[in-house]
Amino acid sequence: MRNFHFALLRHGITAWNTEKRIQGQSDISLLPETIDEYGRLQLPEKWRKVPWRVSPLIRTIQTAVSLSIEGVSPDEHWIEMNWGDWEGKKLSDLRRQLGPRMQENEGRGWDFRPEGGESPREVLSRVEAALAGHRDGDFGVVTHKGVIRAVYAAARGWDMMGKIPDRLDWKSIHVFSWSSDDGLGVVDLNCRLLERDGTTS
């Protein structure tokens, strides 16, 4: 049986995040102040000793570089959920414009699908393909909120409807397990990044 742990970290804040616009696979850079902030932080020691990957989008690459994570390799499996025609729009506006259609869509949980985009179930499928093919022990990924939510939901047994069972800190590392027999599991949530002097952020 193959088994390993992997750490997921969401990228830092972009202008679209502050404007509450849906980014999806749009390639938006970090804010300059976010780059400065992450430049004062580092990974917990355990996770400095493993290989890291990034999504191909610039915001994950900039986050990894700012944290001084060396030798990262881009991997398409970890790219953000495709929000299709809704990228650049605000969820609040879509809910107002689409009304009951949006409520019905969001009520599908794993099968929620933006117009022209992909569902969380499809995101999980590509992530699980990467995990099933992994042979090299523990690793980390700088990725996206949609990816982390899908992995968390599968590991926690959450149907992606209603309130999320745990509060996830999007500036922290979330650690999961994978085994060829049992699939995904939750190991540790909300592991804080450290200041460069070793204190918690």
**2-18, pLDDT tens digit by residue?**
899 999 999 999 999 99
**Mean pLDDT across 45-70:** 97
Per-residue pLDDT at 2: 82
pLDDT at 201: 61
Please, is 142 exposed, middle or buried when counting C-beta atoms within 10 Å of its C-beta (0-12, 13-18, 19+)? buried
Cα–Cα dist 125/67, whole Å: 29
Residue 197 pLDDT > 80? no
pLDDT tens-digit map of 138-182: 999 999 999 999 999 999 999 999 999 999 999 999 999 999 899
Per-chain mean pLDDT for the chain: 96
What are the pLDDT digits (tens) for 58-106?
A: 999 999 999 999 999 999 999 999 999 999 999 999 999 999 999 999 9
The pLDDT value recorded for residue 157 is: 97
N-to-C CA span, the chain: 37
Residues, the chain, total? 201
Give all domains of the chain, ordered by start, each with its CATH number: 3-195 (3.40.50.1240)
- Are residues 3 and 177 in contact, defined by beta-carbon separation less than 8 angstroms? yes
Q: Are strands 3-10 and 139-143 parallel, antiparallel or unpaired?
A: parallel
pLDDT at 92: 97
Instruction: Over range 42-64, report the average pLDDT.
Output: 97
Q: How far apart are CA 85 and CA 83, in angstroms?
A: 6
- Using a 10 angstrom Cβ sphere, with 0-12 exposed, 13-18 middle and 19 or more buried, the burial of residue 32 is exposed
CB 80 within 8 A of CB 111: no
